[in-house]
Amino acid sequence: MAELTAERLDVDGLLADPGIRIVVCCGAGGVGKTTTAAALGLRAAEVHGRRTVVLTIDPARRLAQSMGLSELDNTPRQVKGIDAANGGELHAMMLDMKRTFDEVVQQHTTPQRAAEIFANPFYQAMSSTFAGTQEYMAMEKLGQLRATDEWDLIVVDTPPSRSALDFLDAPARLSRFLDGRMLRMLLAPARSGGRSMFSLVTASFGLFSRAVQKILGAQLLTDLSGFVAALDSMFGGFRQRADDTYRILQDPQTAFLVVAAPERDAVREAAYFAERLVTDRMPLAGLVLNRMHRSELATLSAEHSEKAADRLAAAGDQQVTVDALRIHAALMRQTEREVRVAATFTDAFPAVPAAAVAAQPADVHDVDGLRTIGALLAA
């Protein structure tokens, strides 16, 4: 949009580039990340003829249905109804966190140990509610998709975390926890009998362990120690996987887009994320600003419009124009505010190109809607 001070993001250039194999859409929740990811995937397939897969995390019901994402088998399926004239294909999937966790376990241990882990009540009840599991599994699934080399382009939606940085941080935290010395310190298995006891590393630890036992209860801790014993056979596999995928993110074949809306919180999250990408030497290709408003009559200022409306209202007979002028004034003020909020990012990161997408009258529910968004992104 003309009003943004940033350079225009060349979305089509990005999607057409055979050297870009992964596009990651990051940002705060609620800014249209999933819609953006799906729209980019669709455009890559239809306009640029690429064999594309979109990994979504938590898509809205209707959009998920229209993309055929109701299948919960944790594997990509082809999306019907797309234009294949340029030789492209679009596949899509919704992340199944629990199943992905199972896949990681299966790939790192014997079938017998895997069966033990799957049967463990702690694993069943708790594994998907740990903080960071969704982020870890999203990265894991990305790693799996990339490793098959089946896709020309992978577009990744990221989980609706509390903070945009969780996508980068949570997997490492979780893998430290699962591979970690804390579990072992508190739950070292006894040498005989196979039942665990608390390891009394220090007097404090002993007291703490007993308090924790009282708080958490014997059943949970028995299940937990069984889980830990079975996990032992995975030899630091969790951390290894997380590290491998992190390296993929640092590769020049990966492009990050940070998605935001012109609201203070969303832009602040986008800025934290952009700073972090610079520190981690990960490539930030651009900013996508959804839900932007634009006036069709920028030459009439808010103030003039408001004053004219007041004059007409006093005169008494042009109610339609009075209202239209007030609507216009409000829109002009909104547009100005949005550009100001956007500037808090674009001023801090002048080298990051941006694409602005106009606010839509209703949510995007289907492939047609995604096509419209894709065209707006590339405009």
**Pair 37, 25: CB distance under 8 Å:** yes
Kindly report the CA angle at 371 between 366 and 375, in degrees rounded to 5? Answer: 150
Please give the structure tokens belonging to residue 190: 């006894």
Give 45's Cβ-side CA count (13 Å radius): 27
Query: Which alpha helices (H) appear in 47-156, and where do they start and end?
Result: 61-66, 97-108, 111-119, 121-126, 133-148
Please give the structure tokens belonging to residue 5: 């001070």
From 138-146, 236-244, 357-365, 366-374, give the range in contact with another protein by CB under 8 A.
357-365
State which residue, 2 or 362, has the beta carbon closest to another protein. 362
* Binding letters toward another protein, positions 108-147, x by CB under 8 A: -----------------xx--xxx----------------
2 binds another protein (CB under 8 A): no
CA dist 154 and 134 (Å) reads: 18
199 binds another protein (CB under 8 A): no
Least distance CB 214 / another protein (angstroms): 5
From 43-51, 88-96, 97-105, 300-308, give the range in contact with another protein by CB under 8 A.
300-308
From 3-11, 48-56, 102-110, 298-306, give the range in contact with another protein by CB under 8 A.
298-306
Least distance CB 275 / another protein (angstroms): 18
State which residue, 17 or 336, has the beta carbon closest to another protein. 336
Please give the structure tokens belonging to residue 121: 């009540």
How many residues in the shown chain lie near another protein by CB under 8 A?
Answer: 63
334 binds another protein (CB under 8 A): yes
233 binds another protein (CB under 8 A): no
Span 206-225, contacts to another protein by CB under 8 A: 207-208, 211-212, 214-220, 224
Q: Tell me which residue of 267, 282, 327 sits closest to 4, measured CA to CA.
A: 267
Query: Within its chain, how far is the Cα of 15 from the centroid?
Result: 19
List the beta strands (DSSP E) in the chain.
22-26, 51-56, 77-78, 89-94, 153-157, 254-260, 284-292, 354-358
Task: Tokens 């993001």: give the residue.
Answer: 9
From 92-100, 314-322, 346-354, 370-378, give the range in contact with another protein by CB under 8 A.
314-322
Q: Tell me which residue of 260, 372, 370, 282 sits closest to 23, measured CA to CA.
A: 282
- Whole-number Cα distances in Å, 271 to 9, 336, 344, 359: 17, 20, 8, 21
- Whole-number Cα distances in Å, 321 to 106, 312, 325, 329, 332: 67, 8, 6, 12, 16
Three-class SS state of 135: helix
CA dist 35 and 55 (Å) reads: 12
379 binds another protein (CB under 8 A): no
343 binds another protein (CB under 8 A): no
Please give the structure tokens belonging to residue 84: 């294949």
Residue from 192, 281, 296, 350 binding another protein (CB under 8 A):
296
Residue from 330, 343, 375, 376 binding another protein (CB under 8 A):
330
Span 238-267, contacts to another protein by CB under 8 A: 263-266
Least distance CB 324 / another protein (angstroms): 5
165 binds another protein (CB under 8 A): no
200 binds another protein (CB under 8 A): no
Residue from 49, 160, 189, 283 binding another protein (CB under 8 A):
160
CA dist 68 and 61 (Å) reads: 11
State which residue, 154 or 373, has the beta carbon closest to another protein. 373
Three-class SS state of 312: helix
339 binds another protein (CB under 8 A): no
Using CB under 8 A, list all residues that contact another protein. 29-30, 60-61, 125-126, 129-131, 160, 162, 177, 182-183, 186, 204-205, 207-208, 211-212, 214-220, 224, 263-266, 295-297, 299-300, 304, 308-309, 311-312, 315, 318-328, 330-331, 333-334, 337, 361-363
